[in-house]
Amino acid sequence: MIEAGREMAADPGGGADPLVMGVRDRWDAHGLQGEPWPFMAICSVARLHQLLKKALDDELKRLDLTRTGYFLLTALALTTRGSARLSTLGRFLMMHPTTVKLTVDQLEAAGLVGRTRHPRDRRAILVEITPDGRERVNEVGAALEAPGSAFAPFGGMHRELFEALQPARLAAGDVEPVQRAD
């Protein structure tokens, strides 16, 4: 949307993004160095993170799961055998070992995961998703796509959002380039 020679980002409700309206005009007026875009990008991504986190938490609360529990269950559901070492889960999910253990304790008490000894390494503990745990992951997936869900305002933009963020993550060295076979 253009108004009086200024670009403004419209929100779906017809309003304008205060970040764009206020920052761009004031940046130069207050003598700030450089362009306002890095600051605005950081603020926008942080705000989107808050919105997505709240929407996810609202859905997870209905299903009696924490965000950490959901991530851990989903990670297990994505493994070949539905199990992983505690240490592997911690690295994959970028969680402190204590957080992983406490989350597994909660999920185990709810019957969503179980623990077993590793068959070849007696020191290692495997966490295994149960059928109830797999069902809970599927319930969350269905809930996140339901028209009345807390995610409904995002209108199925998840893939587009993911794809839009990948170039920035690649530039930051967070992900590796993928060679596609055509």
Q: What is the pLDDT of residues 56-110, one digit of tens each?
A: 999 999 999 999 999 999 999 999 999 999 999 999 999 999 999 999 999 999 9
CA distance 147 to 150: 9
pLDDT band at 13 (very low <50, low <70, confident <90, very high): very low
Examine the domain organization and report whether 45 and 105 are in the same domain. Answer: no
Question: In degrees, to the nearest 5, what angle opens at C-alpha 48 toward C-alphas 25 and 167?
Answer: 90
Residue 138 inside a domain? The answer is: yes
- How much is the pLDDT for 5? 37
- How much is the pLDDT for 90? 92
Read off the pLDDT of residues 106-132 as tens digits, 9 standing for 90 and up: 999 999 999 998 888 888 889 999 999
pLDDT band at 181 (very low <50, low <70, confident <90, very high): low
CA distance 149 to 63: 12
Interacting residues of 116 by C-beta distance below 8 A, sequence separation 6+: 83, 125, 126, 128
Percent residues over pLDDT 70 in the chain:
88
Examine the domain organization and report whether 51 and 70 are in the same domain. Answer: no
Q: Which residues constitute the domain of residue 104?
A: 65-143
Examine the domain organization and report whether 36 and 72 are in the same domain. Answer: no
- How much is the pLDDT for 22? 79
- How much is the pLDDT for 180? 67
From 12, 37, 62, the end of a domain falls on 62
CA distance 141 to 176: 27
- Tell whether the model's pLDDT for residue 8 goes beyond 50: no
- Tell whether the model's pLDDT for residue 12 goes beyond 70: no
Work out the average pLDDT over 124-153. 92
The number of distinct structural domains making up the chain is 2
CA distance 69 to 75: 10
- Tell whether the model's pLDDT for residue 10 goes beyond 80: no
Residue 57 inside a domain? The answer is: yes
Percent residues over pLDDT 90 in the chain:
48
Work out the average pLDDT over 41-51. 89
Examine the domain organization and report whether 83 and 139 are in the same domain. Answer: yes
